[in-house]
Structure 1
Amino acid sequence: MSRFRILLRQIWTIARRDFVATVFTPTFLIFLLAPVVMGSFGAIGGLGANAASKGAEAKTRIMAIVDPARSADVAAIDQRLRRLYRQSEEAPPMLETVAPAADPAAQARALFDDTRVDVVAVLYGPLTTPHLLYTPTSLRSADYLALLAEDVVRADRSGIAPLSTPTRTVIPRTAPSLRGASASAFFAVFGLFFLTLLLAGQVVSGVAEERGNKVIEVLAAAVPLESVFFGKLLGTFGVAVLFLLFWGTLISQASMLMPPNFAAGLAGLTPALGLPVFTALFFAYFTMAYMLLGAVFLGVGAQAASVREIQLLSLPITLIQVAMFGLGAVAVSKPDSWLSTFAAIFPLSSPYYMAGRAAQSDSLGIHLLALLWQALWVAIFIAVGVRAFRRGVLQSGSGTFRWKRRRAAHNAVDTTVS
């Protein structure tokens, strides 16, 4: 059996061992259902915030002090203007009209002191020259009242009935839109960030735990450390793929239960390369992002000797992931800048940016180069982690790479022979 086949067999053995040790445990179910717990907390918080927001919105008002004979015209124009706002858009607060008192200016100021409702803007005076009062954060509501007064005056001169009857025709797009491509790019960057944040951290705890109980030293005595590190990385990646398959299957089957607005929003995500190619590239860049971060975390976690040290390492690890997400998100918004070039070259941010680029550009050649570049850095990170572990933990000499040790041994033999 060749040395390469022996190396592959060793890597496969370590990967299978870690995969089985992780998956065939009761705690794996907790890990698999972690998004349910996270989603539940998010849903509870979102429902609470939504209820509080809607409760405040229900009591928010904009007021118009107009003659009772004009209140019907003002209400009709208000209803016409509100047709421009969709449910997903923030419409102005509810309008109420009140009859003017002896002093409309004082009446308008007194409305802000009403404890039953939250008045944010008031219009009073002639509609041709209205006066507007508003709170510091309600300029938009004041602008709406000004537009309302303008349209009422225009309706007086031309009539309230519409002067034109439009014919609307929906034109489906045959090519991806710039907006859809940009949304797909951000979705890709955020998706990689979320998945690596959720899945890549398990590499640290696994290697640190085995270092603490001396298992990794036993493995290092049986097979080369390079095989141990790469095998453990592949084993945890297999767990991540199983996680993706489980949730991907559930989400694909639950797509029919999605609200129409949500389904329409997903349909607006139109990557430039097409959905099948983009999906394949997204998985490829997820693989590289996981391998790169996993290789770094593997080397860092191998230096931790206790759970306390792992907890101390979790903060900088999370900060690295957030920084890479921020760099990738900004870079995809500026595709022709020096920042995008840096994000494509820097190994830890390269998968994030290139996944976003796959949604914005239909060029395929650059993705092959990017994947090869990232695979090279995976090997470099593993080699550096092995050297640091051999030198700092096993304390087996200087930790030089194997080819350097072979060259030194060869030189020693030549010197002896001569």
Structure 2
Amino acid sequence: MSAAPGNLRRRLRQTLTIARRDFTATVFTPIFLLFLFAPVIMGSFGAIGGLGAASVSAGSADKERLVVIAPPAEAAAIVAADRELRALFGADARPPALDVRAPAGDVAAQARAALNAPGIDVSAVMSGPFAAPQILYGRSRRPAYYLAVIAEQAIRLDRDGAQPMSRPTLIRATRDAPSLGGRNASAFFAVFGIFFLTLFLSGQVVGTMAEERNNKVIEVLAAAVPLESVFLGKLLGMFGVAVLFVGFWGIVVSQVGALLPAGANIAELTPAVGFGTFALLFAAYFTTAYLLLGSVFLGIGAQASTMREIQMLSLPITILQVGMFALASAAASKPGTWIATAAEVFPLSSPFAMAGRAANSPTLWPHVAALGWQIAWVAIFIAVGARLFRRGVLQSGSPAGAWRKLFGRKHRTTSRETY
């Protein structure tokens, strides 16, 4: 009876030793600093590209105009109508600036000449009486519709004067529960957050075995420690690196968040289970997502013996991660449907989908079952990966033979394939 607990403690000690070894070998290197500040490098390139695109867009917007050809007596009503309607738009969605011109000769020819004027982009030109205006437009109808509403509003101002006909009372009220749109947005951000972290961090697990296979260290480890402990230890070691990365940037982002403007309101993004519970579930699902994907990548990468093979595995691994993100995103936008159930049950997409469910539904018991289900699959993936490595690599030295040996097929080895 006492042998089993002692064996378990020995396995745990061996696993933690492997984890500590891989953690220190990764963190205490100059390359880790480059990895730690990789988001700054990527963000700098993104900011440079965004500033360039914004400057081009702003330059184009400054040269865009709406033209109204109207007599001076009607120009005041046009300007007043534009001022009232423009206030309804946000800063990013406001129509182009209005340019009111007096008629000169042939109004139709003047309107067409204004639409084709060089040096500025005229989106639409309105001419004629307000009751039946003629509106010319270019690519989009939206500026033409805006000018049509301006004509309608100008008629009302001419008829009723500039005094408002109603005096509304605006009362701001808080919702008793998060809105449906807020929950869906929270679910998407949860799915995207776990996807981004696992995409950025879990891929490094693929190459953890290649160097030790080349210098024969893996043979020494396999002789002293069960392969399952080696695999789990390496996975936990790299997960420790990921936790260090997330903790560092979590502190940085939390301090940057204090600099947000006072008007920034995230109340609509309140998840259904509440912020405290959601934070715990997000951390738990990030852990299981990393362990699930990491165990699969570790098992696949253990079959590769060269960096070229590891690089060739990068594309299918990335496609797999993007596929899980797409499935979980669809589940987050359609909670309670069959696609949501499929995403929550499938092991590799389950952490993403269940994080989205935490934002959409206040029920907690499915998360306990989901976490147990995901941890069970981590154990399965580690066991299968260790068996493939033991039977296909350590015995024959041929990664391709692992798949045939796993299903009991004969595999002949040559002297060149053995270590």
Q: 1:283 to 1:209 in 2, by over 3 A?
A: same
The structural deviation recorded for 1:399 is 7.4
Q: Does the CA contact (< 8 Å) of 1:19 and 1:235 recur in 2?
A: yes
The structural deviation recorded for 1:396 is 6.3
Q: Is the counterpart of residue 130 in structure 1 residue 128 in structure 2?
A: no
Summarize the alignment of residues 176-191 of structure 1 with structure 2, pairs less than 5 Å apart: 176-191=178-193
Report the secondary structure of 2:258's partner residue: helix
Q: Is the counterpart of residue 109 in structure 1 residue 116 in structure 2?
A: no
**Between 206-215 and 266-275, the greater mean CA deviation after superposition:** 206-215
1:159-216 CA-partner distances (Å, limit 9, x unpaired): 1222222222221223222121111100000001110011101101222232232222
TM-score of the superposed pair, with normalisation by structure 2: 0.91
Q: Distance in 2 between the 1:167 and 1:385 partners?
A: 67
Please, which of 38, 41, 48 is the counterpart of residue 44 of structure 1? 48
1:278-317 CA-partner distances (Å, limit 9, x unpaired): 0000010000110010001101111111111111111111
Please, which of 241, 244, 247 is the counterpart of residue 246 of structure 2? 244
TM-score of the superposed pair, with normalisation by structure 1: 0.92
Kindly provide the amino acid, as one letter, of the partner of residue 289 in structure 1: A
Segments of structure 2 that go 5 or more residues without pairing to the other structure are: 404-419
Q: Is the counterpart of residue 76 in structure 1 residue 80 in structure 2?
A: yes
Kindly provide the amino acid, as one letter, of the partner of residue 282 in structure 1: F
Q: Is the counterpart of residue 391 in structure 1 residue 395 in structure 2?
A: no
Report the secondary structure of 1:243's partner residue: helix
Please, which of 15, 19, 22 is the counterpart of residue 11 of structure 1? 15
**Between 291-300 and 266-275, the greater mean CA deviation after superposition:** 266-275
Aligned to 2:166: 164
**Between 110-119 and 232-241, the greater mean CA deviation after superposition:** 110-119
**Between 159-168 and 68-77, the greater mean CA deviation after superposition:** 159-168
Q: Distance in 2 between the 1:141 and 1:391 partners?
A: 69
The structural deviation recorded for 1:331 is 1.1
Q: Does the CA contact (< 8 Å) of 1:123 and 1:145 recur in 2?
A: yes
**Between 217-226 and 390-399, the greater mean CA deviation after superposition:** 390-399
The structural deviation recorded for 1:320 is 0.8
Q: 1:10 to 1:303 in 2, by over 3 A?
A: same
Q: Distance in 2 between the 1:120 and 1:294 partners?
A: 53
The structural deviation recorded for 1:332 is 0.9
Q: Distance in 2 between the 1:133 and 1:363 partners?
A: 56
1:346-390 CA-partner distances (Å, limit 9, x unpaired): 111111110000001000000001111111111111111111111
1:138-166 CA-partner distances (Å, limit 9, x unpaired): 21111111111111112222112222222
% identical aligned pairs: 60
CA-based RMSD: 1.6
Q: Does the CA contact (< 8 Å) of 1:295 and 1:381 recur in 2?
A: yes
Please, which of 46, 51, 58 is the counterpart of residue 54 of structure 1? 58
Report the secondary structure of 2:95's partner residue: coil
Segments of structure 1 that go 5 or more residues without pairing to the other structure are: 401-418
Kindly provide the amino acid, as one letter, of the partner of residue 278 in structure 1: F
Q: Distance in 1 between the 2:304 and 2:402 partners?
A: 18
Q: Does the CA contact (< 8 Å) of 2:72 and 2:102 recur in 1?
A: yes
Q: Distance in 2 between the 1:23 and 1:267 partners?
A: 38
Q: Distance in 1 between the 2:197 and 2:100 partners?
A: 52
Q: Does the CA contact (< 8 Å) of 1:204 and 1:302 recur in 2?
A: yes
Aligned to 2:287: 287
Please, which of 34, 48, 70 is the counterpart of residue 66 of structure 1? 70
Report the secondary structure of 2:394's partner residue: coil
Q: Distance in 2 between the 1:358 and 1:19 partners?
A: 31
Q: Distance in 1 between the 2:268 and 2:216 partners?
A: 52
Q: Does the CA contact (< 8 Å) of 1:328 and 1:343 recur in 2?
A: yes
Q: Does the CA contact (< 8 Å) of 2:70 and 2:100 recur in 1?
A: yes
Kindly provide the amino acid, as one letter, of the partner of residue 193 in structure 1: F
Aligned to 1:406: none
How many residue pairs match? The answer is 396
Kindly provide the amino acid, as one letter, of the partner of residue 16 in structure 1: R
Aligned to 1:33: 37
1:250-270 CA-partner distances (Å, limit 9, x unpaired): 111222212345x32x34311
1:102-158 CA-partner distances (Å, limit 9, x unpaired): 22212111112211110111111111001111113x211111111111111122221
Q: Does the CA contact (< 8 Å) of 1:291 and 1:378 recur in 2?
A: yes
1:221-254 CA-partner distances (Å, limit 9, x unpaired): 1101000000000000011111111111111122
Q: Does the CA contact (< 8 Å) of 1:390 and 1:396 recur in 2?
A: no
Q: Distance in 2 between the 1:140 and 1:54 partners?
A: 19
Aligned to 1:278: 278
Summarize the alignment of residues 218-367 of structure 1 with structure 2, pairs less than 5 Å apart: 218-260=220-262, 263-264=264-265, 266-367=266-367
The structural deviation recorded for 1:26 is 1.1
Q: Does the CA contact (< 8 Å) of 2:393 and 2:402 recur in 1?
A: no
Q: Does the CA contact (< 8 Å) of 1:203 and 1:294 recur in 2?
A: yes
The runs of 4+ residues in structure 1 deviating greater than 3 Å are: 396-400
Q: Does the CA contact (< 8 Å) of 2:77 and 2:158 recur in 1?
A: no
Aligned to 1:403: none
Report the secondary structure of 2:213's partner residue: helix
Kindly provide the amino acid, as one letter, of the partner of residue 367 in structure 1: H
Q: Distance in 2 between the 1:81 and 1:214 partners?
A: 74
